[in-house]
Structure 1
Amino acid sequence: MKSVHPILGQTATGASDLSDRSREIFKRLVETYISTGEPVGSRNLSRILPMSLSPASIRNVMSDLELAGLIYSPHTSAGRLPTETGLRFFVDSMLEIGDVSADERKHIEAQMRAAASGHTFETALSEASSLLSGLSRGAGVVVTTKANAPLKHVEFVRLEPERALVILVNEDGSVENRILGLPKGLPSSALIEAANYLNAHIRGRTLAELRTELESSQSEIEKELDELTAKLVRMGLAETVGTTGERQLIVRGQANLLEDLHAAEDLERVRLLFSDLESKTDVIDLLSRAEKGEGVRIFIGSENKLFSLSGSSLIAAPFRDTAQKIVGVVGIIGPTRLNYSRIVPMVDYTAQVVSRLLSKE
């Protein structure tokens, strides 16, 4: 039996392997763990189950769930906790996604519009990260590519006979500078001519889009420009696209990860997670995996190498530009007992708002 989650866009299998009673006990155990962070015992479950079962009967079912690898006992006499396999089974097969309330939608949209108005788009992304952090007990994260920003103006400024400064002004108001090598013997007039030619073809395109368009019209460039100026145009596009394509990571709310710690092992887990977050390349690589599919992606604990020691979870969703091309990811990183039913729709809706803001750029 398979079921496709309407938001997650993932396929859950094995949902029919448990009896209705086992499913209900397992579901209540996971929900209680997510709420409290504590091991859940049979007596506690007997009070919250919708069916009348003795603690002894519940313990028998829990024993079967433990044999199935869905739960485990952290101590000999303690209650049970879901394993990472159990959490994945719960997320894929049993998670009941909530909804973003009207007030929460208004709050998210208002905050994002305020951050985007009169500021750079990076400011808006930083606000998205802070918003998600505030809506969870985790850290808000955003990753995007600088080259995704639509361009407004390009200018070349000669620094030395064979070096120039390329000034890129994006439509969101942000400015990036790059150093460019110049062809030997290039006259200053060629810098002005090349800039004028590029500015005539920008029209809100990203560097990558502009490069693709001009590469397909080499003959037109050579007809309109002299050889050295045409070479400058090609070099400028090739080198600036190569240097502005790096990924940038924004993390907000790491302090949230220090709240609600239950034991020394929790503190160690957070210490390891902080260490993970310092490795920006690995975090960016993981977030980039969320760009390769529709809907929200959830990564739990050792399912990915990055969080294998800290036992953390990532909930992430992609956002798109005006051409509906995925250009980045927003998400939440936190403990495996994140409130998935609440955070999944929050992340999904925030990604939608970011996409709408990008479409208006």
Structure 2
Amino acid sequence: MTIPNDDQTRLLSELNDRSREVFRRVVEGYLETGDPVGSRSLTRTMSEKLSAATIRNVMQDLEYMGLLGSPHISAGRVPTQLGLRMFVDGFMEVSALHANDRLALDQTLGHEPDIGTLLDRVSGTLSGLTHGASIVLAPKHEAPIRHVEFVSLGPERALVVLVFADGQVENRVFTPPAGQTPSSMREAANFINALAEGRTLSELRGQMSAEITARRQEIDTLAAALVESGLAQWADHGQPYERLIVRGQSNLLDTAGDIDRIRSLFDDLERKRDIAEFLDLAEQGDGVRIFIGSENKLFSLSGSSVVVSPYMNAERKIIGAIGVIGPTRLNYGRIVPIVDYTAQLVGRILSGRAKG
């Protein structure tokens, strides 16, 4: 769990200089290798010459405080979740953004006309740079709709083409209700287009609910089902965010020892309600936030950590979020500036487009 600030202050006050250095070196060693750190290896790196027995005594004290743990009786120590939280908040040194990382991100955010495609590319680049799974919570498009069209791609797949008044076009693939025909799709599209002009998706959603209730008997049953199902893909009722992009899942599978728990994480990632709550948590702090293990219910089953930052529009309103998911031994010091820079870059790009 998250350590309250007063408890952090108390724990830090109980650590002398020797304890602080042993703690920091254990955590840094674990984050670098993923292996327990033993007292003998620390004798070669400490700033003062200490015996392995002395270091073991210090490590035992840190274990008693709940900051370190022993995975095996004869093994070295690893940081607990409490210890990782303490390290991140009080000991971690955040490195400057590497020039190569900056260049890769700058090249990703080119002049791509479609925002969805641009954010897909950002997500892929972020995953590649951090070797984790990236998440991008995309903003909801609020421009009025000009035209909607459904295209059948097979018995269980259909494409919806959304043309907005500002010229943006979005294509979404979704699973239609069973038994759809080309004629029912045309009827559904005609029904939507008759109501859509001048309305945003959110406004259209409410209007269509009323229209469907009032005219239920006037339209084909299958077409009504398609309308309801299709719109559910575009604008979740009562939710301010409509699209979640996840890239690099295989990076988690490569580093995870428990595949079932990671699969559970992927299932959770599909639940946008929790993602929206997750963004709310990110909004409570300035800039980048770090959630370790069970500090956020969305990731508690996976034993993972997430580094996340909201991004803002020109009015400084939070409209989405960008983050990286990985094992708890993430290289936090390197990933924090990458996520921070990416969020600022995306915010500037989207703000510039809104002004244009």
Q: Which TM class, normalised by the smaller chain length? A: 0.7 to 0.9
Tell me the residue number matched to 1:319: 311
> Match for 1:99 among 91, 96, 102?
96
**Percent sequence identity over matched residues?**
45
For 1:153-198, what per-residue CA distance to the aligned partner results, in whole angstroms no more than 9, with x for missing partners?
53589xxxxxxx996516472347997979xxxxx9xx69x94xx4
Q: Tell whether 2:332 aligns with 1:340.
A: yes
Letter in 2 for 1:72: G
Tell me the residue number matched to 1:77: 74
> Match for 2:56 among 48, 56, 59?
59
For 1:231-252, what per-residue CA distance to the aligned partner results, in whole angstroms no more than 9, with x for missing partners?
xxxxxxxx99775845321110
CA shift for structure 1 position 21:
0.8
List alignment gaps of at least 5 residues for structure 1: 1-10, 158-164, 183-187, 200-205, 211-238
Letter in 1 for 2:247: R
Letter in 1 for 2:104: H
Aligned residues: 292
SS in 2 for 1:360: helix
Q: Tell whether 2:142 aligns with 1:142.
A: no
Q: Tell whether 2:116 aligns with 1:127.
A: no
Inter-partner Cα distance in structure 1 for 2:103 and 2:37:
37
Q: 1:78/1:242 Cα in 2 relative to 1: closer, same or farther (>3 Å)?
A: closer
> Match for 1:274 among 263, 266, 269?
263
Letter in 1 for 2:257: L
Q: Tell whether 2:292 aligns with 1:300.
A: yes
Tell me the residue number matched to 2:248: 253
Q: 1:25/1:156 Cα in 2 relative to 1: closer, same or farther (>3 Å)?
A: closer
CA shift for structure 1 position 143:
1.2
Residues 27, 94 of structure 1: 8 Å contact kept: yes
CA shift for structure 1 position 101:
2.4
Inter-partner Cα distance in structure 1 for 2:190 and 2:314:
29
Inter-partner Cα distance in structure 2 for 1:144 and 1:153:
18
Letter in 2 for 1:125: L
With a CA cutoff of 8 Å and minimum separation of 6, indicate the structure with the bigger relative contact order.
1
Inter-partner Cα distance in structure 2 for 1:126 and 1:256:
17
Inter-partner Cα distance in structure 1 for 2:78 and 2:37:
7
Inter-partner Cα distance in structure 2 for 1:156 and 1:42:
66
SS in 2 for 1:141: strand
CA shift for structure 1 position 126:
1.3
Tell me the residue number matched to 2:17: 20
Residues 273, 307 of structure 1: 8 Å contact kept: no
Residues 291, 329 of structure 1: 8 Å contact kept: no
Inter-partner Cα distance in structure 1 for 2:283 and 2:203:
19
Inter-partner Cα distance in structure 2 for 1:356 and 1:241:
25
Residues 141, 249 of structure 1: 8 Å contact kept: yes
> Match for 2:34 among 33, 37, 46?
37
List alignment gaps of at least 5 residues for structure 2: 1-6, 150-159, 173-187, 205-231
The two structures, once aligned, show a CA RMSD in angstroms of 3.4
SS in 1 for 2:43: helix
Inter-partner Cα distance in structure 1 for 2:263 and 2:95:
29
CA shift for structure 1 position 132:
1.5
Tell me the residue number matched to 2:168: 173
Inter-partner Cα distance in structure 1 for 2:236 and 2:252:
36
Inter-partner Cα distance in structure 1 for 2:306 and 2:115:
23
User: How high is the TM-score relative to the length of structure 1?
Assistant: 0.71
Letter in 1 for 2:21: E
Letter in 2 for 1:305: K
CA shift for structure 1 position 320:
1.1
User: Stretches of 4+ moved more than 4 A in 1?
Assistant: 165-168, 176-182, 206-210, 239-246
SS in 2 for 1:267: coil
Letter in 2 for 1:335: P
Residues 314, 351 of structure 2: 8 Å contact kept: yes
Inter-partner Cα distance in structure 1 for 2:318 and 2:310:
6
CA shift for structure 1 position 289:
2.2
Letter in 2 for 1:32: G
User: How high is the TM-score relative to the length of structure 2?
Assistant: 0.72
SS in 2 for 1:47: coil
Inter-partner Cα distance in structure 1 for 2:327 and 2:161:
44
